[in-house]
Every structure is written in C-alpha cells, then in structure tokens.
Amino acid sequence: MRFVVPPHVVSTALVSALALIGVEAASAQEFAGRDKLFAHSNEFRRDVIQVTDGVYVAVGFALANVILVEGDDGLLIIDTTEGMGAAREVRAEFDRISTKPVRAIIYTHSHPDHVRGSRAFVGDVEPEVYAHEKQLRENLPTAVGRAGRDGGNQFGLALPAESRPNAGIGPSLVLGGGDGYMRPTRTFSGESYSFEVAGVKVVLGYAPGETDDQLFVWLPEKRTLLPGDNFYRAFPNLYAIRGVPLRRVDHWLESLSDMIALEPEYLVPSHTRPIMGRAAVDAALTGYHAGVSSVLQQTLAGMNRGLRPDELVEQVTLPPELADNPYLQEFYGTVAWSVRSIYTFHLGWFDGNATSLFPLSNRDRAARIIRLSGGEAAVLEAGRAALAAGNFQWAAELADYVLAGDNDHAEGRELKASALAELGERQISANARNYYLSMAQALRQGR
Ligand SMILES: [Zn+2]
C-alpha cells in the first residue's frame, strides 16, 4: 500500500525519514513537482516593489497584481484585483507612496481578477477607465469560483488552505469585500492607442492571446512594459481546465513578438514578480515565445503525420534547452493540455478514428467492460490493486467504469477519491492539483 503524504507535508527530508522508518514512501522524485509548486509560493510573498522611477507593483495581495504609475498631478492604476477587500489593502500601501488622485484605470483584459477592485482606488476625482473595445463585448464572467464540473475546481476554493500552497500565478483567488467593477469609459478598436495622463505617455497595444480583449501597456519614457496575462512566471495557460473557449496560440505568439520588438528594460506582469534589466527581460520574453512556439510547431507537425491527441501528448515536450527555463515551469498551464487544445482548435473534437464517430456511451461501454472483467467486484479489486501498485490513473479509470452505472457506488467513489488524491499530490500545476484534490474531496463528501 502506498503511503499518502498529507498535503501540508512537503519536505523531502520527511519523505526520506518515512522511508527510513520502514514506511514504503514513494520516492522523492515522484513528489518533485509538488515540492517545486510549494517552493513557488515564495514568488507571491507580499510586497510593493518599486520597478523604476514612478512605477510600482503590489504582489501577493490577490491572485493578480496591481500596478501603480505616478505622474505629475495624478496616478495611473493598471488592473485592480478580483475583490474590494484585497484592493483596499493595496490602496493603503499605495497611499504611503502618493496620495495624488487616480486619474486613469487601465484594464489589461476583462477577467475578474483584473477588474473587480476598481472602486477602491477612486477618490473625489472620477478616473477614466481604459480598455480594448472588445472587453465590452466579452462576457464578464461573474461565476469565478463556481463549484462546477462535479466538484473539480482549478482554484481549489473548497479545499483547506494548507492544501493549496498557491494558485500557480498568485497566492490564491481573494474574492472578499465585494465587487467594485467600473465599466470602461474609453476604449479603442485598432492595434494601438496613445495618450497622456498626468504627464505620463501611455501606449496601449492590442495583444490577443490569453483573451481576445487583451492589451499590453507600454510606457515609452520609462522603457516599461506591462504584458497583462500574456506573460507570467509559469507555463502559460493556453487552455484553462475551468472551461473556456479555445485560445488562439498563434495570436498569443504574435503578441509576444510585438512586445519583444519594443525592447523593454522593465517587465511588470499582472501575475508574478517584475523583471528588471534589458537582458533579463529579453531572455524572459524570447524564452517564453520559444517555448510556446515549440509546443505549437511540434503539435502541428505531429498532426500532419496523422498523430492523434493521446499520441501527441506522449511526444510533445519542451526541448532540453527550454525545459529548465524558469518562466516555462508548469505551475499553471501544462504542455499536455496545450497540445490537446491546439489539436482541437485546428481539427475539432474528432480524432480521425472512425470508431470515434458514434462511440458507445460511457455507461454502455462500462457495463460491457465490467461484464467482460468478471463483474463489479473484480473491477474494484483490480482498481485497488492498481492503487496499491502506484498505477493511480488506471485505478481512477477502473473506478469510472463502476461509477458510470451507479454514481453513488460507495466503494467506487472511495477508490476514485483515493486515486485522485494520489494524482493530485504528484502535480506541479496548481490547477491540476486543485482540480484533483477538489474532486476527491467532493467524492468523499457525497457530492
Ligand atoms: Zn489574471
């Protein structure tokens, strides 16, 4: 029987200690991803960082950062977090830097973690709110944190806090304090829009990628680039398992190229810490572009050879020179999900195998597999053996056969919950970890 290390226990030293005392602990290597994810929490220690003259960023207060630019007679705020509670805390910190009135709020895109804290930054002067005009057409999601998808949740909001070290791109989703969203008052529809506020020259560049309404903020006099969510210190979420329309990877790459061409000296993403220095910024952005481009090109080449999604996932990996790149670690998005998403974008849901055109229903297939295997008890026994042998994915799939016919089957639910918990503890991606552990918890709670 494998030993499940409790989620809050992360030290490899403890894993070794358990091995010494005779518990059959899984090797430290197996938990290397989790250890890296826990260590990644350091990225989100609370800080207000001065990036360059007049540019500051608040990191670690919410899932997303807030960026402050100080001008002659006023302030600019870029992105406002997902809730008024966190935004007020950031405002209090910014007040120690300057109490000039906020004259402009800029949204890099419409996601709730960038727009819901706006009211916290408004005083007597009503600021202009800038965004790309597509933002007004995007559905403003109001249901972030929804339980959805059978209890699976990429933010892990239903999990105990010690089970979720961080959210991959921020400490966690911080929804408290209510919604202070302010609707954009100034939008642009072209490729870029230049203006001046409080003596600060600002260029907004249309940059579709993570969303279709994404923009970057370029401060030419300060050589400072704010890339929104098209860059952060984690492999990008080219597909989000919370359920989103497919994201255009080719557009994302074009937007990265546009940003590289600006030759910024400072890079202040809306998640994770800023990068300072021309060489460091260029290395970060070009490495990011190379990583995403490699995954796209490998996937397309494999598709042209007739490979199907499952085969592509086995073959496409980051090349050795990029595998250790600190900005491409899979703390948030993963290469495998990206490959499936790219396939679906180009070829749709059908994998090309005629058998897949009108497949059996899960319920029908499961009943036949169970009969073939000698009955439900035999399938459960095989599942428990798989769990004990460390074949967690197979254990979960066997449990699914049992649950397909009876979703309330107690032993089936426990087998699946155990398998998902083991899988969750082996992930480097916060999204994957949270999803596995949330669903395991929901199964055990009878949901
Ligand atoms: Zn975001």
Q: What is the DSSP string of 404-440?
A: HH-TT-HHHHHHHHHHHHHHHTT-S-HHHHHHHHHHH
pTM over 0.95: no
CA of 79 to the centre of ligand 1 (A): 9
Please tell me the predicted confidence (pLDDT) of residue 150: 64
Beta strands in 82-121 (DSSP E): 102-106
Which pair of tokens denotes residue 358? 């009108």
- Strand pairing class (102-106; 75-78): parallel
* Domain span holding position 207: 45-234+241-277
CA of 113 to the centre of ligand 1 (A): 6
Residues 51 and 165 in one domain: yes
C-beta neighbour count of 4 within 10 angstroms: 12
Q: Which of 277, 297, 332 is the last residue of a domain?
A: 277
Residues 134 and 250 in one domain: yes
Residues 246 and 142 in one domain: yes
Asked if residue 175 belongs to a domain, the reply is yes
Please tell me the predicted confidence (pLDDT) of residue 264: 98
CA of 10 to the centre of ligand 1 (A): 27
CA of 60 to the centre of ligand 1 (A): 13
Adjacency order of strands within the sheet including 75-78: 47-52, 55-59, 66-70, 75-78, 102-106, 128-132, 186-188
Contact 117, 84 (CB under 8 A): yes
CA of 433 to the centre of ligand 1 (A): 19
Per-residue tens of pLDDT for the chain, all 447 residues: 344 444 444 444 444 444 444 444 567 889 999 999 999 999 999 999 999 999 999 999 999 999 999 999 999 999 999 999 999 999 999 999 999 999 999 999 999 999 999 999 998 889 999 999 999 876 555 444 444 566 678 899 899 999 999 999 999 999 899 999 999 999 999 999 999 999 999 999 999 999 999 999 999 999 999 999 999 999 999 998 988 888 999 999 999 999 999 999 999 999 999 999 999 999 999 999 999 999 999 999 999 999 999 999 999 999 999 999 999 999 999 999 999 999 999 999 999 999 999 999 999 999 999 999 999 999 999 999 999 999 999 999 999 999 999 999 999 999 999 999 999 999 999 999 999 999 999 999 987
Whole-Å CA distances, 284 to 41, 85, 191, 290, 306: 20, 32, 24, 10, 33
Asked if residue 56 belongs to a domain, the reply is yes
CA of 229 to the centre of ligand 1 (A): 6
Residues 53 and 168 in one domain: yes
Asked if residue 61 belongs to a domain, the reply is yes
Residues 223 and 371 in one domain: no
Please tell me the predicted confidence (pLDDT) of residue 143: 47
Of 296, 208, 316, 218, the closest CA to residue 256 belongs to: 208
Q: Which residues, other chains included, contact 71 with Cβ-Cβ below 8 Å and sequence gap of 6+?
A: 54, 100, 103, 197, 198, 199, 200
CA of 252 to the centre of ligand 1 (A): 15
CA of 267 to the centre of ligand 1 (A): 16
Asked if residue 394 belongs to a domain, the reply is yes
Cα pseudo-dihedral 153, 106, 239, 269, rounded to 10? -90
| Chain centroid to CA 23 | 35
Residues 255 and 388 in one domain: no
CA of 193 to the centre of ligand 1 (A): 22
Contact 80, 105 (CB under 8 A): yes
Asked if residue 15 belongs to a domain, the reply is no
Residues 267 and 379 in one domain: no
Asked if residue 95 belongs to a domain, the reply is yes
CATH number of the domain where residue 408 is located: 1.25.40.880
Residues 370 and 265 in one domain: no
Question: Rounded to the nearest 5°, which phi and psi values hold at 63?
Answer: -60, -40
Sign of the C-alpha dihedral, residues 105, 261, 136, 168? negative
Please tell me the predicted confidence (pLDDT) of residue 148: 55
Which pair of tokens denotes residue 203? 């260029």
DSSP-assigned letter for residue 358:
S
3-state secondary structure of 1: coil
CA of 165 to the centre of ligand 1 (A): 18
Asked if residue 154 belongs to a domain, the reply is yes
Residues 93 and 225 in one domain: yes
3-state secondary structure of 14: helix
CATH number of the domain where residue 120 is located: 3.60.15.30
Number of folded domains that form the chain: 2
CA of 169 to the centre of ligand 1 (A): 8
Residues 108 and 256 in one domain: yes
CA of 109 to the centre of ligand 1 (A): 8
Residues 265 and 399 in one domain: no
CA of 233 to the centre of ligand 1 (A): 12
Adjacency order of strands within the sheet including 275-276: 192-197, 200-206, 215-219, 224-226, 266-267, 275-276
Please tell me the predicted confidence (pLDDT) of residue 245: 84
Asked if residue 353 belongs to a domain, the reply is no
Neighbours of ion ligand 1 (CB under 5 A): 64, 111, 113, 229
Residues 248 and 130 in one domain: yes
